Amino acid sequence: MKILLYTDLSIRPDQLFWHRDLGLLTKAFRDLGHDALLVVHPAGDSPSKIKYPDIPTSAASNIRAQARPATAGKNPPVAGALQSSDCYSESSEVGPSSYSPSIQDDPVLWVSSSQVRDKEWWKDHHPDLVILGLWTRRKYDPIRRAALSATPRVIERADSDGMRTASCGLFTYTKRRFDYFRDRTFRWPSPFSILASIFYSFTSILATPWIEYRLRKTLRLLPSILVETPQATALWKSLTLRLGADPEKIHCVPHPILTDIFKFDPAIPKKNQIISVGRWDSYQKNLPFLLKTLRSFLDKNPSWTSLVIGSGIPAKSPHPRITILPPLSLPDLARHMQDSKIFLSSSRYESFGLASAEAASCGCLIVGPSEIPALANFPSSENNFLFSSLSNPLLAKLCRASSLPCLPPPIRLSSCTPPEIAQQIIRLSQSIL
């Protein structure tokens, strides 16, 4: 089966994200023997200067191993190129991967914005299935129509918490819009950023009829939409029904997780250690709140230490028992999760919570200010995480978690493995007429 996976991102070859999202799905489809290609825009280079890779499609070819970063054309890798695999990017919470290359070129198509809006471009590639990562935004409808001209089997990943319009829940939607815009204006002076975010939230509410009118057209256009968590799926189905579209086209399919790396290892002893992972230059991740909570906790609990891993963190640690680390390789990150007792999340919101799910798979107790959507997929997970509320703040939850005599059993995320998610999508695609 020929599968194209497209997302509207402009990235450099050394930023290709094979360990997560559509990149991980691309490799999962190829592991199953399909001819899958990731379609992205090159950053800083003209697509006309980049040759499309000639990927062998035989199932017997050695494509089951992990792909290396794409090169501009078909030149052999330069010295040291192996070290750039899965380089950290702003869309990731981890650093370089240990994956080794085994094929001449990556399974990537580098395209221009005009190409993906051209029906003939899609037809020329003869896809059997197209997977879009376009967040159900109306402005991408020309791309959806172009892809649909080549195949009726077009599936879009929403990557959403379900709060798509104000009718999904006025208070939560307003807060999400405020947080969303604050995240994008975080480097502005605070008074301007706050005022702009309030204005954005207010206008988003007023624009609800217009937003829903545009969304209705997109929902009717798409044959199938994948939503990552049960709660978000329920919100999407309800919204779709209100907008007069078919709620049966909404399907709950979680993000794939590398459970062969992020897994509980009974041979690794757990330390009195708290681990936090994120893009800390983001308003969403709430680094000041995280560090404040950790300082207060560590001052009262001298036997505990903490790791804060990711980008956008200060060079100097704010506490002698808080270790600051840059983005790490997947195996190194998993090892730190495996020997930590608690994963602390300070996020203001999450659509899925990939790092929390990975930590839970490594046997960490999850402590956070709100529900981690990813863990709601697993009925046995209610004893594995503690969430704060207005009457039970994050610090109190952290203290309670640290005093537990033993940790609950690790969550087994077998249904989130890349092959299982890929097979689930294939089954869904076969039901599209």
Has residue 105 been placed in a domain?
Answer: yes
Residues 426 and 380 in one domain: no
Residue type at 318 in one-letter notation: P
User: Is residue 142 domain-shared with residue 277, that is, in the same domain?
Assistant: no
* Closest listed residue to residue 230, CA positions, set 379, 12, 52, 53: 379
- Do 351 and 426 belong together in one domain? no
Q: Note whether residue 397 is domain-resident.
A: yes
99 is a domain residue? yes
Smallest CA-to-CA distance from 130 within 157, 149, 153, 107 is with 153
Tell me the residue range of the domain where 103 lies: 2-159+418-430
Residue 60, class by beta-carbon neighbours within 10 Å (0-12 exposed, 13-18 middle, 19+ buried)? exposed
Clarify whether residues 422 and 340 are in a common domain. Answer: no
Whether residue 335 is found in the same domain as residue 292: yes
Residue 171 resides in a domain:
no
> Domains in the chain: how many in total?
2
190: CB partners within 8 A, 6+ apart: none
Tell me the pLDDT of the chain (433 aa) as tens digits. 999 999 999 988 888 888 889 999 999 999 999 999 999 999 875 444 544 443 333 332 332 233 333 333 333 222 222 222 233 333 344 444 333 333 336 899 999 999 999 999 999 999 999 999 999 999 999 999 999 999 999 999 999 999 999 999 999 999 999 999 999 998 899 999 999 999 999 999 999 999 999 999 999 999 999 999 888 999 999 999 999 999 999 999 999 999 899 999 999 999 999 999 999 999 999 999 999 999 999 999 999 999 999 999 888 899 999 999 999 999 999 999 999 999 999 998 888 889 998 998 999 988 887 666 666 655 444 445 555 543 447 788 788 888 877 776 666 766 789 999 999 999 999 999 7
Shared domain for 372 and 425, answered yes or no, is no
The answer as to whether 131 is a domain residue is: yes
Q: What does the alpha-carbon distance between residue 315 and residue 335 come to, in Å, rounded to a whole number?
A: 23
16 lies in the same domain as 118: yes
Angle, vertex CA 230, rays to CA 138 and CA 8, nearest 5: 30
What whole-number distance in Å separates Cα of residue 88 and Cα of residue 239? Answer: 36
Based on the domain organization, do 314 and 377 belong to the same domain?
A: yes
Q: Give the torsion sign (CA, 114, 117, 118, 121).
A: positive
Q: Is 195 a domain residue?
A: no
- Which letter, b or e, does each residue of 73-112 get, where b requires 16 or more Cβ atoms within 10 Å of its Cβ? eeeeeeeebeebbbbbbeebbbbbbebebebebbbbbbbe
How far apart, in whole angstroms, are the C-alpha atoms of residue 122 and residue 140?
15
Strand bridging mode 385-387 / 365-368? parallel
Is residue 194 in a domain?
Answer: no
Q: What CATH number should be reported for the domain holding residue 294?
A: 3.40.50.2000
Considering the domain architecture, whether residues 140 and 6 belong to the same structural domain is answered as: yes
DSSP for residue 392 = B
Task: Render 209-262 in DSSP notation, one character per residue.
Answer: HHHHHHHHHHHHH-SEEEESSHHHHHHHHHHHHHTTS-GGGEEE-PPP--TTTS
* DSSP 3-state of 345: coil
Rounded Cα–Cα distance for residues 123 and 119 (Å) = 6
Please indicate, yes or no, whether residues 372 and 422 belong to a single structural domain of this protein: no
- Where is 22: in which H helix or E strand? helix 21-31
Q: How far apart (Å, rounded) are the C-alpha atoms in residues 82 and 99?
A: 9
Shared-domain flag, residues 393 and 314: yes
Q: Is residue 100 part of a domain?
A: yes
Q: Tell if the pTM clears 0.85, that is, is over it.
A: no
Look up residue 283 and give its two tokens.
């308003």
Q: Are residues 402 and 423 in the same domain?
A: no
